[in-house]
Amino acid sequence: MLTITFTVEDLARTRLAVSPLWETVASIRLLKTPRAQTFHQEWARTTKDRIARAGVELELLFDLIDPGAWYLADFLTPPPQSAVPDLATDLSAMRRVPAEQVRADLDVLAYARTHPIGSLEEASVPRRLRSARAEDLPTEAVADLYADPDAGMSRLADQVEAYWELAMASHWGRIRALLEGDVLYRGRRLGQAGPAGLFEDLAESVKWRDGALHIKHRRFKGLRNLSGEGLLLTPSAFVWPMVYSSTIPPWQPTLTYPARGVATLWNDSSRTASAGVSAVLGRSRAELLSQLDTPRSTTELARRTGLTAGGVSQHLGALRSGGLVTPHRVGRVVLYARTSVAEALLEAADQPESG
């Protein structure tokens, strides 16, 4: 069990962000873990085929990601500084990680490979007390990174970009929409119910009680007292059903959890609005309202319904005027969500008529 305690300042500094780089890393973990591919089987199959056909060099990137280890080198996923950065911004942060920090993270990785059960206290031992041996690192490519972090990180960034183009770029629009929708939902939960509302349905393995967050890990334990750093929450399309935490100093403590609606990520089918709602609002507006089971952008709604982006905007304007949807800005994107009035309308339409 990992326990994270908060001060009032930590709660004030807790934030949500989307990370393209973390999604890249999480997707590779999923590719290397067939049993975890429940919702992503077709994506995994086609991605493996594309990588095999492309013949690009991805050895260092894949060698650093071990699904069986309790630690993932933190320099792979530096905390994003904005709510919705792009990959270039994330990669720029990764390239700026100092050489001594790269080696320090690899020291922890070597320790994790020789200690199947980890604790925060042991993993946080300063680097000067522990230095990785080449034989304790996963592969020769990783040992080369340890020997020359500057050259190795440049090679790693190139491999991330190559993998992104093959596996992520064409899907990023829908993945980002899912993640941004979760960020919006969490923000609303925080406003409605405070920290308890923010944390209570992150995952089955995460519990908020007595002013602390308790995270059930199979092979990692410890106590992390936040001291004004706050906690970074990052939703992911690829980690279900797991939750991943990064709590080893000096990195900002981060919790990565499954985004809501991940089971529908690859589902392009459109729901059929009820006849009653369609009769009141019109077919197109009723269809748009039914598609907002999770917050979506105008572009995403146009793709899912077959309407033009201009038509979607016009209908959303009417629905907004009627108090049925509200817009929310997340980064550079505006997401539309149903209001409580719309939820009541749809729920009433679904009720069977009484005899």
Tens digits of per-residue pLDDT, 264-303?
A: 888 865 455 678 888 888 988 988 888 887 788 888 888 8
Strand partners, 258: 236
DSSP label at residue 265: T
Across 22-36, 40-54, 243-257, 265-279, least confident range: 265-279
pLDDT of residue 354: 47
Q: Which two tokens stand for residue 173?
A: 């629009």
- Give the mean pLDDT of the chain: 89
Angle at 26 between CA 23 and CA 29, to 5 degrees: 155
pLDDT of residue 355: 45
> 237 with 175: CB under 8 angstroms?
yes
Q: Where are the domains of the chain?
A: 2-262, 268-350
Is 124 a residue whose pLDDT tops 90? Answer: no
Across 70-74, 164-168, 308-312, 349-353, least confident range: 349-353
Angle between helices 20-31 and 41-54 (to 10 degrees): 90
Q: Band the pLDDT of 255: cuts 50, 70, 90.
A: very high
Is 240 a residue whose pLDDT tops 80? Answer: yes
Is 197 a residue whose pLDDT tops 50? Answer: yes
> 222 with 121: CB under 8 angstroms?
yes
pLDDT of residue 142: 97
> 180 with 84: CB under 8 angstroms?
yes
> 336 with 297: CB under 8 angstroms?
yes
pLDDT of residue 273: 67
Tens digits of per-residue pLDDT, 331-343?
A: 677 888 888 888 8
Tens digits of per-residue pLDDT, 63-110?
A: 999 998 899 999 999 999 888 889 999 999 999 999 999 999 999 999
> 127 with 107: CB under 8 angstroms?
yes
CA distance 173 to 193: 30
Query: How many of the other CB atoms lie within 10 Å of CB of 46?
Result: 12
CA distance 149 to 225: 30
Of the chain, the end-to-end C-alpha distance in Å amounts to 54
Q: Band the pLDDT of 211: cuts 50, 70, 90.
A: confident
* Average pLDDT value for residue range 165-169: 96
Q: Which fold has domain 268-350?
A: Arc Repressor Mutant, subunit A (1.10.10)
CA distance 191 to 195: 9
pLDDT of residue 272: 59
* Average pLDDT value for residue range 28-54: 93
Q: Which amino acid is at 304?
A: R
Strand partners, 257: 235
